[in-house]
Amino acid sequence: MVNVLVKWQGKKYEVDADITMPGEYFKAQLFSLTGVAPERQKILVKGGQLKDDTDMSQLGLKENQILMMIGTVGELLKEPTQPVKFVEDMSENEVAQALSIPAGLTNLGNTCYMNATLQCLKAIPELKSAMEKHSVARGQTDARANMVESLKGLFKQLNESGEGVPPFVFLQFLRQAYPRFAEQDSQHGGYRQQDADEFWSEMLTTLDQVLGKDGSVSTVVDKHMSGRMVTTWKCDEAPDEEPTERQEPFRKLNCIIDKSVNYLSQGIKKGLEEVIEKHSETLGRNADYKSVSRIARLPEYLTVTYNRFFWKASESIDAKIVKSVKFPLDLDVSEFCTPELVEKMRPARLHLREIEDKKAHERKLAKKGQNAEPEAEKKDMDVDVKPEASSAPFELSPEFKADDGCNPTGMYELIGVVTHIGRTANSGHYMAWVRKEKGVGGPDPAGRGIPETQHWWYKFDDDEVSMVTDDEILKLCGGGDWHTAYVTLYRAKKLE
């Protein structure tokens, strides 16, 4: 680091210039201080003007050296319309953009935890919509507000780009708001690897705080990504003692992993039921209390995290549990809900099953139509009976209608996975796997012959993006030195 002074509009700004990073990173630092967008900055250095790809280590910067910046805060001029290009004239990245293959994020030095998380959060359109409605004043000094504003711009870049996008500006504000994500690796140099689950939690907290400043009673995080949990404590040693109950919000479910857990549902149940020791007024001493938590409100988007790391004192590391824990593409969490919520969800669950049965029946008929038998043989075939639908039209209850962003059925489908490969929390590599919606984006890869019921997924390895099927996603359950699910994102199934 070299401490320099940047002179702009009669003021001097102290900047710790990281000479190991390109010029674009230095511009991002000035943007956070002055509000002048990097595209509008003209920074005069030895040999001319600082460019995005300038090697800062070659500038010979000295302590307290004064640099001059020219630029104004304001809206950027629109770029001229690009001429039409034919496919044969396009680069590989331009072809990827034409086919709507989404762009990845460049790894800026152990930032894969951030890249993977952001790609999964980008799959939630309600977040994007809420950020677009929110605005931040130029020159804003609140690092968290600037984080959200830069994330809005970053998502826009990802939608418009056909190649990897370096998240310099967002990373700068992230490290200002949360200095621990700027920790240095004293052993290997550079920035330390961070925990994707911790970053996921901090992102939701930041979005909730910043978007809530608009005066909204409930933010997009409250509505669409937060549920409500009812926890009851009962002491078996004191049967006459009244159970105590508490309600609190939650943003994720934890999957506890031990030798007995082989499936996600088992791990979730362990996370909702535990025995704790606390003081009993009835007994006048400490006693064991059984804590049982049940869900009273389900969000549209449900985050499940896997407790795969534990502190290994003998080696002073956060070691990883690589045990296989199978997770489903379709998740039903009704068994973890309060009896009251289960009863309220019953009509919507029945309706959803009717919809799915109808779709399965239509697929079966379509398949038979493609493999039509000769007329004489058709007479011997069994007649398919169409699933019987309820006589009365379905109407969602007023309570669920009024609760924007809830899940009225308890049934989810997987749309995103953050995986980790490696043996410790502070090493290894994170990746994101995000489901491609049918009929959205470019065409599915041809010639693979996968069933209609399966989905294609985008595999985000930082700025390298490829496609895989459901079968590859189910292999992310762990059990060896392969990419292992660490955070899974589920979305409520649609009632249509």
Number of Cβ atoms within 10 Å of the Cβ of 227: 21
State the Rg of the chain over Cα.
Answer: 27
Q: What tokens does 237 get?
A: 């040693």
Question: What is the C-alpha to C-alpha distance for residues 421 and 113, in angstroms, rounded to an integer?
Answer: 11
φ, ψ (nearest 5 deg) of residue 490: -110, 150
Q: Which of 400, 261, 384 is nearest to 326 (CA)?
A: 261
Task: Of 314, 320, 323, 321, give the one whose Cα is nearest residue 425.
Answer: 320
Q: What amino acid occupies position 273?
A: E
- Count Cβ atoms below 10 Å from residue 351 Cβ, excluding itself: 19
Q: In what order do the strands lie in the sheet with 244-250?
A: 244-250, 227-234, 285-297, 273-280
Can you tell me the distance from the alpha carbon of 486 to that of 419, in angstroms, rounded to the nearest whole number?
5
Angstrom distance (rounded) from CA 462 to CA 164: 8
Q: Please pick, among 112, 235, 255, 477, the residue that the annotation labels catalytic.
A: 112
CB 441 within 8 A of CB 455: no
3-class DSSP state for residue 319? strand
Please, what is the end-to-end C-alpha distance for the chain in angstroms?
57
Evaluate whether 69 touches 41 at the Cβ level (below 8 Å).
yes
Can you say how many angstroms the Cα of residue 81 is from the centroid of all Cα atoms in its chain? Answer: 33
Cα–Cα distance between 259 and 29 in angstroms, integer? 48
337 an active-site residue? Answer: no
Spatial contact of 199 and 181, defined as CB atoms under 8 Å apart = yes
HSE value, Cβ hemisphere, 13 Å, CA-based, for 43: 27
In the residue annotation, 477 being an active-site residue is answered as no
Catalytic residue among 351, 429, 455, 483: 429
Q: At what angle do helices 196-211 and 112-121 cross, to 10 degrees?
A: 50
91 contact partners, CB below 8 Å, separation of at least 6: none
Strand partners, 310: 319
Which stretches of 122-195 are DSSP H helices?
A: 125-133, 143-160, 168-177
The C-alpha angle 332, 333, 335, rounded to 5 degrees, equals: 110
Using an 8 Å Cβ cutoff, are 202 and 120 in contact? no
- Cβ–Cβ < 8 Å for 101, 442: yes
Nearest-angstrom CA–CA distance, 155 and 150: 9
Residues with a known catalytic role: 112, 429
